[in-house]
């Protein structure tokens, strides 16, 4: 499809919204298709400082540093999957919609963590089972004590379901 002026403005506005949420520029770039240079300029204008250049985390598990984060990220993922198919591509619009709902209901959250959660659940890098005890879905990974238990009720599928 040919690039239209309105289409381009829409992309810029979406990018500005993502950057306002401090989404990492390489992810903004992949979600909007805009080039990195104008995105860097946009970041400086919005935040009055340069974007962070640190290494990107490998997976959503890097964000799950305490029980509150594990519960928050799982809640974010459930909210998103209520309105979007797990197999549908992640879009900037979908991500922003879920992020805004989440923040209205539950408080501040790192939008990057939300993006990684959707990406990793979609790629089956982590599983997203329903807890057999409290019925909430949660991001499960056997590698850490934080993610091997349901963050809402503490139930452990590996230990308690045997
Ligand atoms: Zn539970």
What average pLDDT values come out for the chain (162 residues) when binned by 10 residues?
Answer: 84 97 96 96 96 89 95 98 91 97 96 97 95 97 93 90 70
Q: What is the pLDDT of residue 162?
A: 65
- Ligand 1 centre from 6 Cα, in Å? 46
Surface-to-core class of residue 24, CB atoms within 10 Å of its CB (0-12 exposed, 13-18 middle, 19+ buried): buried
* Domain match, 18 and 86 both: no
- Ligand 1 centre from 24 Cα, in Å? 31
Q: Under a CB-based contact definition with an 8 Å cutoff, are residues 16 and 44 in contact?
A: no
Based on the structure, what is the number of domains in the chain?
Answer: 2
Q: Determine the structural domain holding residue 9 and report its residue range.
A: 5-47
Residue 55 lies in a domain: no
Residue 144 lies in a domain: yes
Going by C-alpha positions, the residue among 110, 151, 114 that lies closest to residue 133 is 151
- Ligand 1 centre from 120 Cα, in Å? 21
Q: What is the pLDDT of residue 126?
A: 95
- For residues 66 and 73, give the distance between their C-alpha atoms in angstroms, rounded to a whole number: 11
The string of DSSP codes covering 72-116 is HHHHHHHHHHHHS-TTSPP-HHHHHHHHHHHHHHH----HHHHHH
Task: Give me the residues near ligand 1 (ion), CB cutoff below 5 Å.
Answer: 131, 133-134, 150, 152-153, 155
- Ligand 1 centre from 95 Cα, in Å? 25
Residue 81 lies in a domain: yes
Residue 79 lies in a domain: yes
């Amino acid at each position: 499809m040919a690039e239209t002026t309105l289409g381009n403005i829409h992309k810029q506005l979406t990018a500005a919204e993502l950057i306002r949420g401090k989404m990492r520029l390489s992810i903004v770039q992949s979600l909007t298709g805009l080039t990195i240079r104008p995105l860097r300029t946009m970041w400086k204008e919005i935040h009055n400082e340069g974007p962070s250049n640190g290494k990107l985390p490998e997976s959503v598990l890097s964000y799950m540093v305490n029980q509150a984060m594990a519960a928050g990220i799982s809640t974010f993922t459930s909210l998103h999957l209520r309105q979007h198919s797990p197999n549908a591509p992640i879009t900037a619009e979908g991500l922003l919609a879920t992020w805004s709902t989440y923040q209205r209901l539950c408080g501040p959250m790192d939008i990057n963590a939300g993006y990684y959660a959707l990406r990793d659940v979609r790629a089956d890098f982590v599983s997203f089972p329903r807890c057999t005890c409290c019925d909430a879905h949660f991001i499960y990974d056997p590698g850490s004590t934080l993610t091997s238990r349901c963050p809402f009720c503490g139930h452990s599928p590996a230990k308690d379901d045997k």
